[in-house]
Amino acid sequence: MASPVAHTFAGLWTFLLFAERTKIRLRDEWRRYAGHLCLLVFLANLADLDFISELLFHKNYHRGFSHSLLTAILAALALTWIWKIAGTFWSSILIYFVAYGSHLVIDFFTGMHLGWNHSSFGIPLFWPFSTRDFGSDLVLVYGVTHGSMSALFSLANLHAVCYDLFFFGIITGGLVLWRARYVLNN
Ligand SMILES: [Zn+2]
């Protein structure tokens, strides 16, 4: 799995998409929408909560059904039924699906070594129709190790987190600048 830092950035990107679609002026209204941001960040990380069971019960449930397209669709539907975050049914489904789906996209490109090396872990995208793991040949994100507390707080994971802060931070900086320019010009 990729680190929570990577998925948290993706949740932030989904929030920027939400702000764009609902025409929110973030500079003036960001306090009002802090809860929306927290929910989307949580949703972008949700698929990895299965690793808790691995820590507690030492059984490998990780990257199972929670990392599938069907679960992303069901989660988007269920959340839209509870709260239409973007006002309308379809806009809300889209925002929730993008938040959850961002997790699948990042994990699709996650592996042990960066580059074109077929080292991605893969995820069961088409569960339950296929249990095959799908991953990109091109690895863009370092995977973090887990399964025990010592693995979780290892130097390799610290390295992965630093890389994510740099890689996703640069993309986020670009997105924020682009949006600020757009707001100023309109
Ligand atoms: Zn994951």
| Choice among 19-28, 113-122, 160-169 with the minimum mean pLDDT | 19-28
| Burial of residue 101, with CB atoms counted within 10 A of its CB: 0-12 exposed, 13-18 middle, 19 or more buried | buried
For residues 142 and 164, give the distance between their C-alpha atoms in angstroms, rounded to a whole number: 8
- Mean pLDDT along residues 155-169: 92
Q: Is the per-residue pLDDT at 63 higher than 80? A: no
Which domain, by its residues, includes 53? 4-185
The alpha carbon of 42 and the centre of ligand 1 are apart by a number of angstroms equal to 13
Percent of the chain surpassing pLDDT 90: 61
The alpha carbon of 146 and the centre of ligand 1 are apart by a number of angstroms equal to 12
**138 CB neighbour count, 10 Å cutoff:** 14
The per-residue pLDDT for 66 is 93
For residues 41 and 170, give the distance between their C-alpha atoms in angstroms, rounded to a whole number: 18
The alpha carbon of 167 and the centre of ligand 1 are apart by a number of angstroms equal to 18
The per-residue pLDDT for 36 is 96
H-type alpha helices, the chain: 4-21, 26-29, 34-45, 51-57, 69-82, 89-108, 149-152, 155-185
For residues 133 and 147, give the distance between their C-alpha atoms in angstroms, rounded to a whole number: 19
The alpha carbon of 163 and the centre of ligand 1 are apart by a number of angstroms equal to 17
The alpha carbon of 66 and the centre of ligand 1 are apart by a number of angstroms equal to 8
Q: Is the per-residue pLDDT at 183 higher than 80? A: no
- Residues with Cβ–ion distance below 5 A, ligand 1: 1, 47-48, 107
**Overall domain count for the chain:** 1
Q: Is the per-residue pLDDT at 14 higher than 80? A: yes
The two three-digit tokens of residue 15, written as one number: 């929030």
For residue 100, CA distances in Å to 29, 76, 77, 157 come to: 24, 8, 11, 23
